[in-house]
Amino acid sequence: MLKIYLEKLLRNKLAIAGAVIIIVLVIIAIFAPVVTMHNPLEGNILERLQAPSKNHFLGTDEIGRDVFSRMIYGSRISISVGIIAVSISLIIGTFLGLISGYFGGKVDSIIMRFVDIMLCFPSFFLILMVIAFLEPNIYNVMIVIGITSWTGLARLVRGETLTIKERDFITAARGLGLRKRRIIFVHILPNVISPILVSSILGVGAAILTESGLSFLGLGVQPPIPSWGNILTSGKDYIHIAWWLSLFPGLAILITVLGWNLLGEGLRDVFDPRTN
């Protein structure tokens, strides 16, 4: 089973491109101290706003810090925020979706009405509101993105659960005397895992974008800790004289989100039984 999927995945060029982008990024993030030549937090004020050169690949910012180093360290933030936020929403969304779909009735109504209420708010506005009450730092950003982005997944899992639970093997499992908990997590969950996987991988891209947006607005990762979003913020004031400050973080966000989206879309094709 896994082998068939893997072969299908390897034939999908876009998915491979996405996977390569992500793998390269993760490797760079892990080996950040080896890759960079300068300290991302300390700069030489005399070298401020220098254009890209041999010494500073992507130039320097307004207080002379190396933009390349800051971006590499910033990738750690983006990737970890993306993955952890999605893990949180994955756990909440899958759990509530399964419960809602399997039990139906009142439990389903309560969970789904709550999802409807959550969906009434623009999610970015919701995140801004929560962050305003909490201290804006990387951990709060992860948690807040996680607990505001599970609704779509919960709906998706609920829908899948509704179709799976009508299948004969679930009746058979009940007939064999299995407990509900076991039926839900051992018999239904593995059958709904592929849409969960696709939606989560697409979700990582979205979470990275949200984190960048929050940091850009000054509500995410706080300076001097570098993140792609806050490098962009400081860049916007100098956009006429130092284009590299805005261009490179922007490109980095674009490529990263593109990578996750390509992989997500590719996996969707792989899991789709209609494609061969």
Partner 1 sequence: MDTILEIKNLSVEYQVGKKIIPALKNVSVSLNRNDSLGIIGESGSGKSTLGLSILDILPKEAKISSGEILFHNQNIFRLNKKELQNLRGGKISVIFQDPLSSLNPVIKISEQLRETLKVHNEDSSDNKIKELLEMVQLGNFDRIKNSYPHQLSGGMRQRIMIAQALASRPEILIADEPTTALDVTIQKEILELLKKLIKEFDLTMIFITHNFGIVYDICSRIAVMYNGEIVEEGKTSEIMKIPKHPYTKALISVIPKAGQKVKKFNVI
Name the minimum Å distance from CB 195 to partner 1: 14
Q: Angle CA(257)–CA(261)–CA(264) in degrees, nearest 5?
A: 140
Does 109 sit near partner 1 (CB under 8 A)? Answer: no
Does 186 sit near partner 1 (CB under 8 A)? Answer: yes
Whose Cβ is closer to partner 1: residue 122's or residue 177's? 177
Interface region with partner 1, contact rule CB under 8 A, candidates 174-182, 196-204, 214-222, 228-236: 174-182
Q: Are 244 and 51 in contact (CB under 8 A)?
A: yes
Coil, helix or strand for 60? Answer: strand
Q: Angle CA(30)–CA(144)–CA(98) in degrees, nearest 5?
A: 95
Whose Cβ is closer to partner 1: residue 97's or residue 226's? 97
User: Contact with partner 1 (CB under 8 A): which of 169, 218, 236, 275?
Assistant: 169
Name the minimum Å distance from CB 169 to partner 1: 5
Does 176 sit near partner 1 (CB under 8 A)? Answer: yes
All residues at 6 or more sequence positions from 190 whose CB lies less than 8 Å from its CB, including other chains: none
User: Contact with partner 1 (CB under 8 A): which of 3, 34, 122, 177?
Assistant: 177
Burial 205-219 (b: 16+ CB within 10 A, else e): bbbbbbbbbbbbeeb
Name the minimum Å distance from CB 181 to partner 1: 12
Beta bridge partners of 66: 60
| CA–CA distance, 153 with 86 (Å, rounded to integer) | 10
Does 110 sit near partner 1 (CB under 8 A)? Answer: no
User: Contact with partner 1 (CB under 8 A): which of 80, 87, 140, 191?
Assistant: 191
| CA–CA distance, 87 with 153 (Å, rounded to integer) | 12
224: preceding bond cis by omega (within 30 degrees): yes
Interface region with partner 1, contact rule CB under 8 A, candidates 81-89, 115-123, 186-194, 238-246: 186-194
Does 31 sit near partner 1 (CB under 8 A)? Answer: no
Which pair of structure tokens corresponds to residue 106?
């009142």
Footprint on this chain of partner 1 (rule: CB under 8 A): 1, 104-105, 166-169, 171-179, 182, 186-187, 190-191
